[in-house]
A and B are shown apart, each in its own frame.
Chain A
Amino acid sequence: MAAESTLKNMVLCLSAVCLICAAVVGGAYAMTKEPIDEAARAKTTASIAAVLPEFAGTPEQASVNVDGTDYTYYKTDSGCAVISSTSGFGGALTLMVGIASDGTVHNTTVLSHTETPGLGAKCTTDEHFIGQFQGFDPKQKSLTVKKDGGDLDAITASTITSRAYALAVSNAVKVFNKLNEGGQGNE
């Protein structure tokens, strides 16, 4: 039933199939590029809106280097949303941390993580744990878990994830402080 395998028709057939497939993938890429970018932008905008008090206008994207790491942040008139990444239990834990203009943490949200389902992954759903960061004033309290002498309750059985989360928030606070002490335009 299959065609005979001569060098000529093997080369022809493989090339033809590859060409057609490449065209299909290329077409799909071109068609979905716009919606994919749109979805990524919508996600960023949504997470900025979730972590900051209500603001007017569009957030301004910029980046800053603090202690040898580059941080991307979004500046608005109600505060600053910083993307902060640390290593959790299973890999990178990336947060969007919103810091209001008065220097308190307004809210945090997880952008991506690879923590253990049911344990560390609860850092995205555990209301008590996430709630601790809302309105947290880093000048009054210490941004580490109680086990390390700080003021935060860790997620049960997920101290490493909780530490990473706290570290990410505290790095974001550092970014905010650097931005404010050095004035604006510190890019």
Chain B
Amino acid sequence: MSKWHFVTDGFVKNNPTFVLVLGMCPTLATTTSAMNGLEMGLATMFVLILSNIVISLIAPMVPDKVRIPVYITVIATFVTVLQLLMQAFTPSVYETLGLFIPLIVVNCIVLGRAEGFANKHSVGESALDGLGVGLGFTASLTVIGIVREILGSGSLFGWKFIAGDGILAFVMAPGAFLVLGFLMVLFNKYLAKK
């Protein structure tokens, strides 16, 4: 019996961005370029995998009534560790993402997976689920970032192929909503066909 579907579920059926529509704040705010989207996704995935593992381990020992504060504490710990590590070893990435790293604590995806999956499944399954959902989130953010960067700045991963400016609205908030909306339609159309 393969456990591979825990990973693919997070990627397609439970895609956090286009299907569950969770974690919209970092999704809209950090996807101004493909690289930013990718980095934000990876940062979230790091927290997601570790918090899923730890929470699935401690869930049987945690009294029901205090589980949410316990989960939040665990998640906040990993986010803080991540923040310190990024400040130390990738200061330039930390500068771009800035405020949105500490905000991973309140990202509904992380708590959602802890509460909705990790506390009912084994450690291995939870780790795979964290990986899947994390990859799904990363891929979605990168795709949104790619579209916004092409339309908004005429470049891709920083490589500029159109001289001059793109359509600036796509780099700013309105473009984020537009691109997210259209991609969500496309994704769900594809899912419905299957």
User: Which residues of A does B touch, CB under 8 Å?
Assistant: 1-6, 9-10, 13-14, 17-18, 21, 24-25, 28-29, 31-32, 35-36, 38-40, 43, 112, 116-119
**Which bucket holds chain B's interface residue count?**
35 or more
**Complex contacts, A43 vs chain B, CB 8 Å:** 91
Q: Quick check: A10 and B63 within 8 Å, CB to CB?
A: yes
Distance to closest chain B CB from A125 (angstroms)? 10
Task: Name the one of B60, B65, B66, B171 contacting A117, with C-beta atoms under 8 angstroms.
Answer: B171
Neighbour of B73 across the interface among A17, A28, A39, A119, CB < 8 A: A17
User: Which listed residue (B62, B84, B166, B168) contacts A28, Cβ 8 A?
Assistant: B84
9 shortest interchain CB distances as A-B pairs:
A35-B88, A118-B171, A5-B65, A5-B63, A32-B88, A21-B77, A32-B84, A2-B64, A28-B81
Q: Is the CB of A25 within 8 A of B77?
A: yes
Chain A residues near B76 (CB-CB < 8 A): 21
Contacts of B119 in A (CB 8 A): 1-2
Across-interface contacts of A6 in B (CB, < 8 A): 63
List chain A residues, Cβ under 8 A from B73: 14, 17-18, 21
Which residues of A have CB within 8 Å of B58?
17
Complex CA distance for A35 and B84, rounded to whole angstroms: 10
A-B contacts, 20 of them at CB < 8 A, read A1-B59, A2-B59, A2-B62, A4-B63, A13-B61, A13-B66, A13-B70, A24-B77, A28-B81, A28-B85, A29-B84, A31-B84, A32-B88, A35-B89, A36-B87, A39-B87, A39-B89, A43-B91, A117-B171, A118-B153
| Interchain CB contact under 8 A, B60 and A17 | no
Q: Which residues of B contact A9 (CB under 8 A)?
A: 63
Please, which residues of chain A bring their CB within 8 A of the CB of B87? 32, 36, 39
Beyond A14-B70, A17-B74, A117-B172, is A5–B64 a contact (Cβ under 8 Å)? yes
Q: Is the interface of A mostly helix, strand, loop or mixed?
A: helix
Instruction: Name the contact of A119 in the complex, choosing from B77, B89, B91, B168 (C-beta under 8 A).
Output: B168
Q: What CA separation (Å) do A18 and B71 show in the bound complex? A: 11
Q: Which residue of A lies closest to B64 (CB)?
A: A2
Distance from B176 Cβ to chain A, minimum over Cβ atoms (Å): 11
CB nearest to B60 among chain A residues: A1
With A1-B120, A2-B67 known, 12 other A-B pairs at CB within 8 A are: A2-B59, A3-B62, A17-B70, A36-B91, A38-B88, A39-B87, A40-B91, A112-B95, A118-B32, A118-B168, A118-B171, A119-B168
A116–B172 CA distance with the chains assembled, in angstroms = 8
Expressed in whole angstroms, the Cα–Cα distance for A35 and B85 within the complex equals 9
Cβ of A2: which chain B residues have Cβ within 8 Å of it? Answer: 59-60, 62-64, 67, 119
Q: Which residues of A contact B84 (CB under 8 A)?
A: 28-29, 31-32, 36
Q: How far is the CB of A116 from chain B (nearest CB, A)?
A: 7
Distance in angstroms from A5 CB to nearest chain B CB is 4
Partner of B69, one of A4, A14, A112: A14
Chain A residues, Cβ within 8 Å of B66: 5, 10, 13-14
Chain B 21-49, CB within 8 Å of chain A: the 1/0 string? Answer: 00000000000100000000000000000
Q: Do the beta carbons of A117 and B32 come within 8 Å of each other?
A: yes
CB-CB < 8 A to B136: which residues of A? none
Q: What residues of chain B lie closer than 8 Å to A21, measured between beta carbons?
A: 73-74, 76-77
Are B60 and A25 in contact (CB-based, < 8 A)?
Answer: no
* Interface presence of B80 (CB below 8 A): yes
User: Closest A-chain residue to B82, C-beta based?
Assistant: A28
